Amino acid sequence: MRLRLLAPRYWLTWAGLGLLRLIAFLPYSAIVWLGRGLGTVLRHLPISFAHTARRNIELCLPELSPEERAHLLNRPPKNEVIAYAFERFRVGWGGRGIPRDDIRAFIAALKNNECVWYAPDQAYRKKGAEMVPLFGIPAASNTLTSRLARMTGAPVLPYFFHRLPGTQGYVGVIHPPLENFPGDCAASDTARFYRMIEAQVRLAPEQYLWIHRRFKGLSADYPDYYGRQAPRQSTP
């Protein structure tokens, strides 16, 4: 561990991590109760990711009421101590982090027949990005999945987790490898697994990461969906 992570400016972060560590020892039912209470408080505060969550639900699932159905999750801050703690946690469970810009390491792991996970439904506006509809709304998207599959021959297995009612825990489903993947068009491939994501979100919309500013464009004329004067999506 780097000594600068012990600087006074990180003491509050360490205290928070310590509190979370203690909470982890509580019974699962108590953790669920605390999470619900925290979500109830956070969604009524004037914080930016509460606004983002409401806006995303309004755009994607206008038939739902964000005030009743949205449960807000904490988005980790850009904090060195938090990053260090997360990396330690992943390593403890057998994981190994690959920097998001280290494509060579990503490709090498796949060619070595290692399992690599990443979230393909996050906003992406760097080289190779294309506008792909998600919930019918064109959004800047990462089309790397199909290109990686073509380059390495690695199969692509979508998988999803959702929380069971009450305190029953979680269930994860790993789908079979995508057939006829990749196709001839990276954007079409991306739209294909976006449809899978949409279907899963509709099954449990309250569990999706709505606080992410997903709907961004690649040009200046793209609507600012998160600004104060953001245009409202018309409801059919």
Mean pLDDT for the chain? Answer: 82
- Top pLDDT among 101 and 202 is at 202
pLDDT at 236 over 50: no
Work out the number of other CB atoms within 10 angstroms of the CB of residue 105: 14
Structure tokens at 158: 């979508």
Convert the pLDDT of each residue in 117-141 to its tens digit: 888 888 888 888 899 999 999 999 9
**Reported pTM:** 0.71
Give the pLDDT score at 69. 42
**Confidence at 231, pLDDT banded by 50, 70, 90:** very low
Work out the number of other CB atoms within 10 angstroms of the CB of residue 88: 10
Q: What is the CA radius of gyration of the chain?
A: 20
Backbone angles phi, psi at 117, to 5 degrees: -115, 140
β pairing state of 170-174 and 159-163: antiparallel
pLDDT at 68 over 70: no
Bond before 62 cis per omega within 30 degrees: no
Q: Among 80-84, 189-193, 210-214, 231-235, where is mean pLDDT lowest?
A: 231-235
DSSP readout, 8-57? Answer: GGGHHHHHHHHHHHHHTTS-HHHHHHHHHHHHHHHTTS--HHHHHHHHHH
